[in-house]
Each structure stands twice: as structure tokens, then as C-alpha cells.
Structure 1
Amino acid sequence: MARIPVEDELAIRELYARYCWALDTGDTDGYCDLFTDDAEATEETSSGGLEIRKGRDEIRKLVLKFHDRPDFPGHQHQMDQFTFEPDPLGRPDCWVVRTYAWATINRPPEHPILHWCGHVRDEVVKVDGDWKIAAKDIMGWGGKVLERFGPRN
């Protein structure tokens, strides 16, 4: 299996750190700049449906759904357990990145609470020397990712 060069892995990990920081600090422009112009983001809704956003203007609407909420400040998003897979289409400077993801709500002096857990599958590409998100799937921890276990009673 192809291994991602260490320099690229470190740059992609920084991309994710910037992603969480921009999301959680209300930096809408900084968040949008992390995506390619034609990026696509799919988010699983609380009802189990899928919300698909295409293009940077739609990505802006996605993040504003959070940044415009008065109860959003205090959320902290985390990502870890990164895996890097070569692009299935064989494109150069493109990797599929999978991570566990979770969000807490932190409003001191209250104790932080776990708000959401799931996983993310992204396609990241190098554009003019910088890594960007070209496709993002944000999913809860259920459904297809657990299908190998078979039906549960």
C-alpha cells in the first residue's frame, strides 16, 4: 500500500487543526478557505437524511448554520485516528482521509459534555502547494460504517 509522505501527512494534520479552530472560533472565511472552490460536503442530519453542499458558497452556508446559532460558542470539535488511503481514482496529490470525530460543549464553570460522535471521510488535494478539502462526508457512528456486524436486535 502506498504511504503518504511525512511532510504531506503533517500538512494535512495541520489542515484539520485549522478546520476545527476556524469552525469553533467563528472564523467563517478561514473555514471556507480550507476547501477547494468546487468542494462538496455531505452531512448526515439528525433525522438520518443527507444534506449535500456543493461549491464554496454552499460550504459557507453550511458553516453559517453553526456560526449564526447563539448557542454555538463553546463547541469544540476534535478529530483523531487518522488513516490515509491513496486516491481510488489515482489522482496525484490526492488522498482519502478517515478520522473519528466528536464535539464537546464547554461552558465553564460547567463541566464539558460530549455533544456528538461520528466519523469523517474526506478527499484532500494539493492546490498551489496547499492542502485543501475537496470532498467531506460527516457521518454519525452508525449505519453503513457498522454494517459488517450485521443486523442487531
Structure 2
Amino acid sequence: MAPSTQDRTEIYELYARYSWALDTGDTEGYLDLFTADAIATEETSGGEIEVRQGRDELRKLVRKFHDRPDFPGHQHQMAQFVFEPDPEERADHWVVRSYAWATINRPPAHPYLHWCGHVRDVVAKVDGVWLIRSKEIMGWAGAVLSRFGQG
């Protein structure tokens, strides 16, 4: 079982809009990509887990980046999407796993890799539009490497 070609294309567009809004400081455009009750889980640089739920909390999450004077120049990318059925078996929901990374580009200096990890999202089609219902942003460590005895 997999999303239709049309749904897959629309979900890819959702991710393109996500990165574009995040990296260009479009806070409201970023928030518009989430359901009203969305949950975002992020592993901080210190290894703590932050959980945010709802539009006001998601605004705080994205503003912590958009308000940083050193944030312009970041470019977030995601690739190698794996679609899995929703474990709760909800209609028009998919789990989407992907690799994720961020570069920093501040010409004339050369761009460089700033961060890499993975993302596990649940996307939902709401009123005909694909949105992010939950997002987990994690570094490339811990449980994802458990088969190597590193979890």
C-alpha cells in the first residue's frame, strides 16, 4: 500500500514549501503547513527533547530560528522519502520518514554542512490539502542506529 501518484506529488510539494518557508523566514507560511493540533518533537543541540503542540507552540519553535540573527543562510533539505501506512489506520494519513540535513550558505564563503539527521512525520489530508500532523526531528544517533548496538 502506498499513496497515489497525485498524493505523493502533493506531499513532496508540502515538504518543498516547508523548507522554503523555514529558510526564508516565512513564519505564517510555515505554520500554515501544519494541522491546528500538530505536534512537533525536536532533539536540541544539547540532546534534550522539546515537544510543542498547537499553532502557538509551533510559532515559538519556528521563531527561535527566525529570530536568530545568524539564521539567514540556512538551507534545509529532505530526501529519500519512505511512506508507511498510518499505525492508527486513519484514512488519508501516512507516516513519512526521510533523511534531513541543513547547510549554511553565506557567500563569498563556501557552503558547509551544518546538521544532518532524520525526520518521522505523520501527514494528513485535511479538506483536500496535505498537512503535517506530527513531526519528529532527530539527529543521526540513538534508536535509528539500534541495529548496530548503538540505541
Shorter-chain TM band: over 0.9
1:51-80, CA deviations, whole angstroms, 9 ceiling, x for partnerless residues?
000001100100000000000000000000
Change (3 A) 1:124 1:69: same
Distance in 1 (alpha carbons) for counterparts of 2:57 and 2:73: 24
Query: Counterpart of 1:34 in structure 2: which amino acid?
Result: L
1:58 match: 57
Percent identity of the aligned residues? 72
Alignment of 1:119-130 (within 5 A): 119-130=118-129
1:17 match: 16
Distance in 1 (alpha carbons) for counterparts of 2:85 and 2:14: 18
Distance in 1 (alpha carbons) for counterparts of 2:120 and 2:35: 16
Normalised by the size of structure 2, how large is the TM-score? 0.98
- 2:4 pairs with 1:8: no
**What secondary structure, in the 3-state scheme, does the structure 1 residue paired with 2:99 have?**
strand
**What secondary structure, in the 3-state scheme, does the structure 2 residue paired with 1:131 have?**
strand
Distance in 1 (alpha carbons) for counterparts of 2:24 and 2:33: 15
CA RMSD between the two structures: 1.0
Unaligned regions of 5+ residues in structure 2, if any? none
Query: What is the CA-CA distance between 1:151 and the residue it aligns to?
Result: 4.4
- 2:74 pairs with 1:75: yes
1:106-128, CA deviations, whole angstroms, 9 ceiling, x for partnerless residues?
00110001000000000000000
Q: Give the total of aligned pairs.
A: 151
Query: Counterpart of 1:52 in structure 2: which amino acid?
Result: V
Unaligned regions of 5+ residues in structure 1, if any? none
**What secondary structure, in the 3-state scheme, does the structure 1 residue paired with 2:2 have?**
coil
1:23-47, CA deviations, whole angstroms, 9 ceiling, x for partnerless residues?
0000000000000000000000111
- 2:23 pairs with 1:34: no
Moved over 2 A (4+): none
2:140 match: 141
Normalised by the size of structure 1, how large is the TM-score? 0.97
Query: Counterpart of 2:68 in structure 1: which amino acid?
Result: R
